[in-house]
Amino acid sequence: MKVVVAGTGYVGLITGVVLAYIGNKVVCIDVDQEKIKLLRQGKSSIYEKDLDKYLLLAKDNLTFTTDNSCYKDSDVIIIGVGTPERQDGSANLDYVYDVCNNIIKYANKDMVVVIKSTVPIGTNDEVEKYLSSKRKDIKLTVVSNPEFLSQGSAIHDTLYASRIIVGAVDDNAFKVMRELYEPLLKEPYNVPYLEMNRRSAEMVKYASNDFLALKISYINEIANLCNKVGANIDEVTKGMSYDKRIGSLFLKPGIGYGGSCFPKDTKALHWLSKINDCELTLVKACIEINKKQKLILFNKLREDFNYSLKGKKITILGLTFKPMTDDLREAPSLVNIDMLLDYDADITVYDPIALDKVKKIYNNKIKYANTIDEAIKNSDAVLIMTEWAEIKNYNIDNYTKYMKYANIYDGRNCYDPVIMKNKGINYYSIGR
């Protein structure tokens, strides 16, 4: 099947690579010429496990371009561009409609247009109306096909997806989508495949992400209460996890969620509920809880240092919102850097992947270290923001060896509190 994928960010690129790997002829298009140049050389423009490997495996079925004429003769066009949040929390659909305008200009036959980008409920209907109003000579059928990948395991999450959701109102569109994904519905993948109406498909994406964000926020609230009453969140979550109705996933406390999905999707669904006079107060509370949780280490640090951080050397270990990605979107580390700068702290940061990206944001306002040892040298305090393996496996004796004062504020619960205490380290973690 001839497929065009618009956008080569996380969603678009992963989708294009996997669809090419399973046998479709795929063209990925993007307006960023430098990104396309890299991809043509077989080099990924994003950091993602196994992506380079699958770029190579799929290369015979995969091409990259900036030329909009690629929309001609396609069977399926997949829109995987960004839908960033606006100031009011709503989704910005400008990039989606930019792609639509190119489809209108170049499409030369009946096509299925798949919206994989996360969009507000009703967007697929509006896009189909827009396309059909501009091109009455051909049939452009819109399908909702939300993604459920997780950064750091996106290739696996697409090949062995928890489910494929397809929302359409046209029997032929359902038929085309089944053909597109057919290899994934068989051995060895056996991905569950669900068909429904478009608005339900759009809602599945938001409802799923917001439920997980709620679960994270809930356990963070419980962890904060554990700190106050002397309970241990590790023991609490273990006890909870044996209840099959609850499970063990997304019960790890920390300093809040970040990335490209949960923050944006919670705000978008809350905005949608408000304009429909059906405000989701749980989602609203989730947003507020997460905002406060990101600063829980900073507030504890500030309290311990009698609200004066001027000239104190503070080290931040881990900058990305989670390990195994270079994504800094909504990362708790950035909020904390901004607060520390506001309090005139002397900041040094370390991350195994994201240093170059952070340098573009802060330039010479902060210092950058190439190793953990270098980062913590003569520090007054360390804030752990990302649970990278090398941070979790770090020789904790080096904290007392290299730091001025061994004050560790661990936002990801990387270490055993008893061991840290026995080593003479002042250790603060979440809910323990």
**Contact criterion met (CB below 8 Å) for 223 and 411:** no
Is there a contact between 374 and 368 (Cβ–Cβ < 8 Å)? no
Q: What is the rounded CA–CA span in Å between residue 187 and residue 185?
A: 7
Tokens, residue 347: 């900041």
Angle, in degrees to the nearest 10, between helices 281-293 and 262-275: 150
100 Cβ neighbours under 8 A, 6+ residues apart: 79, 113, 127, 130, 131
Go through 357-377 and write b for each residue having 16 or more CB atoms within 10 A of its CB, e for each that does not.
bbeeebeeebebbeebeebbb
Q: Say if residue 188 is preceded by a cis peptide, omega within 30 of 0.
A: yes
* Among the listed residues 230, 217, 215, 248, the one whose alpha carbon sits nearest the alpha carbon of residue 431: 230
Q: Comparing C-alpha atoms, which of 181, 2, 8, 175 is closest to residue 81?
A: 8
Euclidean distance between CA atoms 325 and 253, whole angstroms: 20
| Burial class, 281, CB count within 10 angstroms (exposed 0-12 / middle 13-18 / buried 19+) | exposed
Q: Which two tokens stand for residue 137?
A: 């000579």
> What torsion, rounded to 10 degrees, do the Cα atoms 403, 408, 410, 414 define?
70
Q: How many helices (H) and strands (E) does the chain have?
A: 18, 14
d(C-alpha 39, C-alpha 45), whole Å: 7
Asked if residue 386 lies in contact with residue 351, where contact means CB atoms within 8 angstroms, the answer is: yes
Handedness of CA 227, 230, 234, 236 (dihedral sign): negative
The answer to whether residues 102 and 71 touch, using CB atoms and an 8 Å cutoff, is yes
Buried b (16+ CB within 10 A) or exposed e, 150-161: bbbebbebbbeb
Residue 261 annotated among the catalytic residues of the structure: yes
Helix ranges (H only) for 276-414 are 281-293, 296-304, 332-342, 355-362, 372-376, 389-392, 397-402
Do 296 and 329 touch, CB atoms closer than 8 A?
no
**Catalytic member of 70, 100, 226, 261:** 261
Question: Which residue numbers are catalytic?
Answer: 261
